[in-house]
């Protein structure tokens, strides 16, 4: 796990060392354990290392036949198995990240075809000459790039390209509208004009500083569902879960997990309980003295039943007012998901005890957990409705341009997900896996953890689990109005203390309560902040904040606007860092 960056000039001239220096400084938090560099003609590569596997000989860049060189942000979990298959190949290290050099020798531009892991990769072949940029199929690890007269530059975080002076900090208005309406942005184009994402599963071939080839590896299988009886499905589920958790635990440093007490994290803990001789370290966050449901008691009961070494933290209003500017700074590619707050605070605590945490992202998407999936599968006269049909700010009279095209990206994902033979449920799942998962949930996990030099791993988002779960028949995903049926049934037999068939209240962060307590002070500051004032009517924003306690929808809308105001202050206006929330908004 690391941060990577690099450049390829458009001619034979060497790229700017100063630009690479600036990018590596920008992503230094991602890799506090070391730095490596590589130069070849018109190519520069750099890496900041967080040492997890092969602490002694795993420094990057790594080199392969013909002078190929690689820098990697991520983990290749099947490196042991593929190295055993690599008879005759002279592996020089014990590093998992050396593996793509071997697969490249056999598959060339399709070198990511057999990789099982999470990764952002830059691989240079001086013999072609060509630079490849590759990202894992679920988009667990980020990778951004920009093209200009200088050529092409890439980095693990978008802000690195801006701080290096390669891109101006200018936003695209249509993407800002999309963010306010969805809480994340879709597709390859980021909110920054001139910065694009390497899409999940994409491998780009770059020559002379220009992208000339694209290969895409799908995260989800094609074809119809596979019918299974319950007993066979339960046995197969246990096998794929244990296999995935086993490889996701491969580490030469201490690891633990984030535990909410819900189905997904409890299922991971049940597997870790079976696979580990020592107690698993678990971390849980709660919100004392608020009106939202506190999950700590349930998580505590599950941890006790599993014999875990359990650590709880309290996230308070004081944390909110103090830490939110730093959190907004970490989320450079913006996702206004209020779960960034407890995730950031958990990472801040967990880094003192471990260097790797497992987390349950992907369980809902792969096993059919969301209520919106059940709604999307019904006919319209039975109350069915398409996902995300309304924007967060729709009908509130706030937006200057209530652009209904904010949904265009989701519509594209829906159309691409509707492959022949897929059920309505599978189409809904695939739609979420295309954008919501990589551009909200996984982005949040990556930035919040890497801000503290902590690696996050997601065992549900593994090809072995994904291929099995996505192809389950709908009846094993949704049963009598309850999602994740098969996963719940398995968990009930392994760790019944998790109470998987009890209906949960859902995870909520009390942002509306915290905002309401200081709404009068926040209202004019948010309404007249440059980012919000550009998109919204200031008077309407003030009225919305002053009525924040009157509805749940109003509370979420105020959170969106507050987050965007702070994000814009930090990333576009270049506000001073280290100030609390109110002072950040007040500062000239």
Beta strands per DSSP E along 42-143: 43-49, 62-63, 69-76, 117-125, 130-135
Is the predicted pLDDT of residue 141 greater than 70, yes or no? yes
Neighbours of 172 (CB within 10 A): 16
Neighbours of 214 (CB within 10 A): 12
Q: Measured between alpha carbons, how far is residue 397 from residues 181, 394, 401, 504 in Å?
A: 13, 7, 10, 33
Give me 452's structure tokens.
């503290």
Per CATH, domain 230-380+423-498 is 3.40.50.300: no
- Distance between CA atoms of 443 and 340, rounded to whole angstroms? 10
* Choice among 9-13, 192-196, 266-270 with the minimum mean pLDDT: 9-13
3-state secondary structure of 564: helix
Q: SS3 for 421-451, per residue?
A: CCCHHHHHHHHHHHCHHHHHHHHHHHHHHHC
- Distance between CA atoms of 499 and 513, rounded to whole angstroms? 29
* Backbone φ, ψ for residue 17 (5° rounding): -65, -35
Give yes or no for a contact between 200 and 135, defined as CB atoms under 8 angstroms apart: yes
Task: For the chain, give the longest Cα–Cα distance.
Answer: 71
* Helix spans in 368-423 (H): 371-377, 408-417
- Distance between CA atoms of 286 and 276, rounded to whole angstroms? 26
* Backbone φ, ψ for residue 450 (5° rounding): -70, -20
Beta partners for residue 353, in sequence order: none
- Distance between CA atoms of 278 and 254, rounded to whole angstroms? 11
Residue 79 has a pLDDT of 86
| Half-sphere exposure for 53 (CA within 13 Å, toward CB) | 23
Is the predicted pLDDT of residue 445 greater than 70, yes or no? yes
Give yes or no for a contact between 516 and 264, defined as CB atoms under 8 angstroms apart: no
Local confidence band at 294 (pLDDT 50, 70, 90 cut-offs): confident
| Half-sphere exposure for 58 (CA within 13 Å, toward CB) | 24
Residue 380 has a pLDDT of 64
What is the residue-averaged pLDDT of the chain?
93
Local confidence band at 58 (pLDDT 50, 70, 90 cut-offs): confident
Residues whose CB is less than 8 angstroms from the CB of residue 52 and which lie 6 or more positions away in sequence, other chains included: 1, 75, 251, 252, 253, 355, 356, 455
Q: Enumerate the domain spans of the chain.
A: 2-216, 230-380+423-498, 511-586
* Helix spans in 331-381 (H): 340-350, 363-367, 371-377
Local confidence band at 541 (pLDDT 50, 70, 90 cut-offs): very high
Give yes or no for a contact between 163 and 25, defined as CB atoms under 8 angstroms apart: yes
Give me 535's structure tokens.
């998109």
Give yes or no for a contact between 568 and 584, defined as CB atoms under 8 angstroms apart: no
Sign of the Cα torsion 164, 169, 174, 176 reads: positive
Neighbours of 318 (CB within 10 A): 10
Residue 136 has a pLDDT of 98
- Residue whose structure tokens are 């809904």: 428
Is the predicted pLDDT of residue 581 greater than 60, yes or no? yes
Residue 51 has a pLDDT of 73
- Distance between CA atoms of 313 and 454, rounded to whole angstroms? 17
- Residue whose structure tokens are 């049926």: 485
Local confidence band at 295 (pLDDT 50, 70, 90 cut-offs): confident
Residue 381 has a pLDDT of 57
Is the predicted pLDDT of residue 480 greater than 70, yes or no? yes
* Backbone φ, ψ for residue 281 (5° rounding): -85, 125
Residues whose CB is less than 8 angstroms from the CB of residue 117 and which lie 6 or more positions away in sequence, other chains included: 74, 75, 76, 77, 78, 96, 136
3-state secondary structure of 482: strand
Tens digits of residue pLDDT in 85-102: 765 567 888 888 999 999
- Residue whose structure tokens are 């056999």: 106
Distance, C-alpha 113 to centroid of its chain: 21
- Distance between CA atoms of 62 and 41, rounded to whole angstroms? 18
Tens digits of residue pLDDT in 302-318: 999 999 999 999 999 99
Give yes or no for a contact between 459 and 248, defined as CB atoms under 8 angstroms apart: yes
Angle, alpha carbons 151-154-156 (nearest 5°): 175
Residue 469 has a pLDDT of 97
Tens digits of residue pLDDT in 337-353: 999 999 999 999 999 99
- Distance between CA atoms of 284 and 261, rounded to whole angstroms? 8
3-state secondary structure of 98: helix
Local confidence band at 503 (pLDDT 50, 70, 90 cut-offs): confident
Give yes or no for a contact between 538 and 400, defined as CB atoms under 8 angstroms apart: no
Is the predicted pLDDT of residue 53 greater than 80, yes or no? no
Give yes or no for a contact between 71 and 59, defined as CB atoms under 8 angstroms apart: no
Q: Are strands 69-76 and 117-125 parallel, antiparallel or unpaired?
A: antiparallel
CATH class of 2-216: alpha beta
Beta strands per DSSP E along 174-330: 196-197, 202-207, 210-216, 255-258, 281-286, 309-314
Give yes or no for a contact between 144 and 156, defined as CB atoms under 8 angstroms apart: yes
């Amino acid at each position: 796990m690391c941060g990577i960056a690099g450049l390829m000039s458009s001619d034979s001239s060497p790229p700017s060392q100063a630009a690479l220096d600036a990018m590596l400084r920008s992503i230094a938090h991602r890799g506090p354990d070391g730095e490596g560099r590589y130069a070849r003609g018109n190519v520069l590569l750099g890496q900041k290392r967080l040492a997890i596997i092969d602490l002694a000989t795993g420094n990057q860049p790594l080199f392969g036949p013909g002078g190929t060189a690689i820098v990697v942000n991520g983990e290749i979990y099947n490196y042991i198995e593929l190295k055993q298959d690599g008879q005759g190949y002279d592996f020089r290290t014990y590093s998992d990240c050396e593996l793509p050099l071997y697969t490249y020798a056999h598959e060339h531009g399709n070198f990511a075809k057999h990789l099982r892991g999470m990764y952002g990769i830059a691989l240079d072949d001086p013999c072609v000459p060509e630079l490849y940029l590759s990202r894992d199929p679920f988009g667990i690890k980020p990778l951004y790039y920009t093209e200009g007269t200088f050529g092409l530059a890439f980095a693990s975080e978008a802000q690195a390209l801006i701080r290096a002076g390669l891109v101006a900090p200018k936003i695209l208005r249509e993407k800002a509208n999309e963010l306010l309406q969805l809480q994340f942005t879709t597709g390859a184009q980021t909110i920054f004009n001139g910065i694009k994402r390497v899409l999940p599963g994409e491998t780009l071939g770059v020559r002379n500083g220009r992208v000339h080839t694209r290969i895409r590896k799908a995260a989800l299988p094609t074809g119809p569902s596979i019918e299974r009886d319950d007993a066979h499905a339960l046995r197969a589920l246990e096998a794929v879960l244990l296999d995935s958790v086993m490889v996701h635990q491969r580490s030469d440093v201490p690891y633990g997990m984030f535990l909410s007490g819900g189905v997904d994290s409890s299922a991971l803990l049940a597997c870790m309980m079976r696979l580990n001789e020592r107690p698993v370290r678990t971390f849980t966050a709660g919100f004392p003295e608020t009106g939202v449901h506190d999950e700590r008691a349930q998580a505590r009961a599950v941890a006790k039943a599993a014999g875990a070494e359990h650590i709880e933290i309290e996230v308070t209003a004081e944390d909110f007012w103090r830490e939110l500017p730093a959190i907004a700074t970490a989320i450079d590619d913006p996702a206004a998901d209020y779960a960034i707050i407890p995730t950031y605070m958990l990472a801040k605590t967990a880094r003192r005890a471990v260097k790797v945490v497992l987390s349950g992202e992907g369980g809902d998407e792969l096993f059919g957990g969301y209520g919106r999936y059940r709604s999307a599968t019904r006919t319209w006269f039975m109350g069915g409705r398409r996902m995300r049909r309304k924007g967060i700010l729709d009908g509130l009279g706030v937006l200057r341009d209530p652009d209904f095209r904010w949904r265009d990206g989701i519509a594209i994902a829906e159309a691409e997900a509707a492959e022949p033979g897929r059920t309505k449920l599978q189409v809904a799942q695939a739609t979420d896996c295309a954008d919501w998962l990589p551009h909200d949930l996984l982005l949040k996990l990556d930035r919040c953890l890497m801000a503290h030099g902590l690696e996050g791993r997601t065992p549900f988002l593994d090809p072995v689990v994904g291929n099995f779960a996505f192809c389950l028949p709908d009846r094993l995903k949704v049963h009598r109005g309850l999602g994740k049926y098969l996963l719940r049934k398995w968990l009930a037999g392994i760790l019944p203390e998790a109470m998987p068939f009890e209906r949960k209240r859902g995870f909520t962060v009390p942002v509306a309560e915290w905002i309401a307590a200081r709404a009068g002070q926040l209202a004019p500051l948010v309404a007249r902040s440059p980012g919000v004032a550009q998109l919204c009517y200031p008077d309407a924003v003030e009225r919305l904040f002053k009525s924040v306690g009157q509805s749940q929808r109003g509370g979420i809308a105020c959170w969106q606007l507050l987050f965007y105001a702070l994000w814009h202050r930090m990333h576009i206006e270049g506000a001073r860092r280290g100030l609390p929330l109110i002072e950040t908004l007040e500062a000239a």
